[in-house]
Structure 1
């Protein structure tokens, strides 16, 4: 895609079922705010969206920052709509006391998640068994997954509010570790658009995502049914806590501090050999 004449009539937009995403994108999806072209929702779990981005499947998509570093040649991040912050990090949970996870088996929500990247920064010798994020806590509770022993779990999204219901104990808050080590907010997820979309379209989509979030803040009840429809078995209190935690000022614009945080995560991932260093700009030039 190199000119507006080659743009599709409708742009597919991938995001997760999580309340923070449905809160942010409801107004754009419902046509309550305008973008450079209409969007069609494609809802999937984040790990599936990560894998689809590697395949270049969607022109606009939510993605883990760890996965973004794999697809920077094809995609660029919007400044709006992402998930960064303090107190938002993934947790390592166990059934009991586990002193050192090196050499232990940890249930992970996916190889391309920011959570697993952080896990490997702290415990480089850890072993992982991967599964969908909502299967992690039951696996730790049972102590096994598909016949393999599980010593701990790496939990994300709303699981940080419910792990005690499974009799689990917080071993380490990886977001807190990151904040103490870097002094920066933790980058979790970004909204990407294809780099071959015209720059004015990229800018228009960034403005549309921000407008959609502005609408959500101004009309907090407008998206409630839509959010509830996709929130699985989540209670209203957990649903609201999820939104309050993961939607913040960095969701409106990543800002200078957010950019520094993403650059630092990228630098550390490259130093671990997890990703290749690159020269592409991280964010849309607005």
Structure 2
């Protein structure tokens, strides 16, 4: 394996490559086992799959672009083509996941039309938890804009922060629970890789985080990663606000 990494894919020896391998070997591997267990027990694995999809897609986009335009671009070998399945499989898996029906709520969490209507009539100021979440998203969006140097965040994450705020203000945005899971997985993977590689010894010295700002750097970036996780949790815990209207007398499922 040492020979393969040195000769075939040397970019895996960089700090960012090492962090991606750690995430693959721990988080993705754990998600694979959890999804396999759910399939074996005939339970829904859709939510786990959407989180995995976002995490893997973020990893792939940054990893492949970095290799194609980074300092190892001139050293790419045919082994780079082994990454092709990591592009095609998530696309296929994502289509399958979004086509699956959402997990049916239990009797305790099924919502009647009147309950959904009551929840969706509430203004934002009547939902203090959503007010706090909107403020968190506004702060993270501002942080993304002013930092601006991580272009994937700038062009994709920042617009989605704005869409999330829209979905928390106006009722019936049924797309938000699913995409909040994809978004949470993507940001979790990106922040882990960013934090780890910024502090790793293999990062060139000019790009390493100075020791005197380690704690502020860690706190800021951990809080940044926390916002999308809270959004996904809120959408899954109480989805009535995001449900579309249905014919009277039927329960939302």
Query: TM above 0.5, one fold?
Result: no
Of Structure 1 and Structure 2, the greater strand share is in 1
Q: TM-score range by the shorter chain?
A: under 0.3
Larger radius of gyration: 2
Q: TM-score, normalised by structure 2?
A: 0.28
Q: TM-score, normalised by structure 1?
A: 0.26
Of Structure 1 and Structure 2, the greater helix share is in 2
